[in-house]
């Protein structure tokens, strides 16, 4: 099973995230209207620490990607990503377009998110990230929290 997460700053206040789980791939974008990378890391930390379900959003101009994570067993995770042409607000899942539905090991996915965030930091540094992402600083504390959560999680 292959799991890959790539996160790139593509311009001032814009990013892309390419997620691949097995043979499924999704290409998502986000604007600085949300703190996309921090929200993704925060959600994954919650999952590693035992949350059963987590939802994360990447806001676009216009539109929104919604990541839905759900434990299917202690060490397995279901990942659904939906696209909404406008902000989701009170819309139901059926009003969104399913762009990825896959299952993988939680630790594998969490490790891929951690690696993606480390590549972003290595590429841009703290100051460069803040300059390119505009409204938000690099989520260093969350990155460290994810590293620690992976080290102390069951099955490590």
The Cα 19–Cα 41 span in angstroms is: 14
Q: Which of 19-23, 61-65, 93-97 has the lowest mean pLDDT?
A: 93-97
pLDDT in tens, 2-19: 999 999 999 999 999 999
Percent of the chain with pLDDT over 70: 98
Q: pLDDT tens digits, residue range 120-153? A: 999 999 999 999 998 899 999 999 999 999 998 7
- Tell me the per-residue pLDDT of 69-121, one tens digit each, with 9 for 90 and over: 999 998 999 999 999 987 777 777 778 899 999 999 999 999 999 999 999 99
* Mean local confidence (pLDDT), 21-37: 95
DSSP 72-94: SSSSEEEEEEEEESS--TT--GG
């Amino acid at each position: 099973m292959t799991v890959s997460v790539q996160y790139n700053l593509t311009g001032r206040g814009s990013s892309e995230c390419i997620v691949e789980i097995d043979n499924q791939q999704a290409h998502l974008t986000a604007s600085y209207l949300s703190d996309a990378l921090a929200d993704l890391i925060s959600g994954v930390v919650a999952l590693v620490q035992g949350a059963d379900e987590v939802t994360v959003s990447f806001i676009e101009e216009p539109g929104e990607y919604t990541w839905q994570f759900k434990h299917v067993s202690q060490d397995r995770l279901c990942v659904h990503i939906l696209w909404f042409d406008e902000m989701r607000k009170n819309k139901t899942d059926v009003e969104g377009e399913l762009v990825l539905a896959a299952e993988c090991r939680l630790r594998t996915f969490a490790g891929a998110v951690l690696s993606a965030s480390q590549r972003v930091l290595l590429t841009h540094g703290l100051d460069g990230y803040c300059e390119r992402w505009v409204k938000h600083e690099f989520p260093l504390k969350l990155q460290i929290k994810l590293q620690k959560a992976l080290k102390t999680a069951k099955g490590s």
